[in-house]
Amino acid sequence: MADTVPSVKLTIEGAMKLLNAGMAKAKEIDVPECISIVDPGGHLLAFARMDGAFVLSFESSLMKAKTAASYGEPTGNMLAGVDIKLAIATQGQRINLPGGLPIVIDGHVVGGIGVGSGTGEQDRVVAEAALGALPGAKRFG
C-alpha cells in the first residue's frame, strides 16, 4: 500500500471564480444570496453576502459548504429522520438543506460551495452555476 497519494488543491483564484460566478447567477435570477466556499476540511476560503441576502444565511451557507465537502455529495438528499440524527450527532455541523455542492476535480473533493438565502431550488441553481466557472469540475445538475 502506498504511503502517499496525489492530490489537487483549490486555490484562492479558483475559489474567487466560483464566488463571482455564483454572484452573477444570483443577480441574473434576482435572488441575493450568501455564498460560502470551503476547502476539503471545511475551512472558509471565500464568502459573500450580497446586498439584501438574509444575514443568518451566512451560517446555513457555510454549513451547506462544509457538509458537501465532508461527504462529497450534494446537500438536501438525505432521508428525513436520518438528517436530524446526524445534525444532532454533529452538533449542527451536518445540514441537509439544498444548496450545498462538493467541488470535485479529477475525482478529488477539493472543497464545497454552499448557497443560502433563496429557496432550496434557487440556492442549488446558484451553486451549480458557480461550478460551471471551474474547468473540470464535476456537475450535479
Stretch 7-35: mean pLDDT, rounded? 97
Predicted confidence at residue 22, as pLDDT, reads: 98
pLDDT of residue 1: 86
Query: Which domains, from first to last, does the chain contain?
Result: 12-131 (3.30.450.150)
d(CA 127, CA 134): 12
Q: Give me 21's grid cell.
A: 460566478
User: Tens digit of pLDDT for each residue in 129-138?
Assistant: 999 999 999 9
**Whole-angstrom Cα distance, residue 112 to residue 41?**
9
pLDDT value, residue 91:
87
CB 117 within 8 A of CB 54: yes
Look at residue 111 and give its three-state secondary structure: strand
Residue-by-residue DSSP string for 8-33: ----HHHHHHHHHHHHHHHHHTT---
- 7 or 115, higher pLDDT: 115
**What's the mean pLDDT in 69-86?**
89
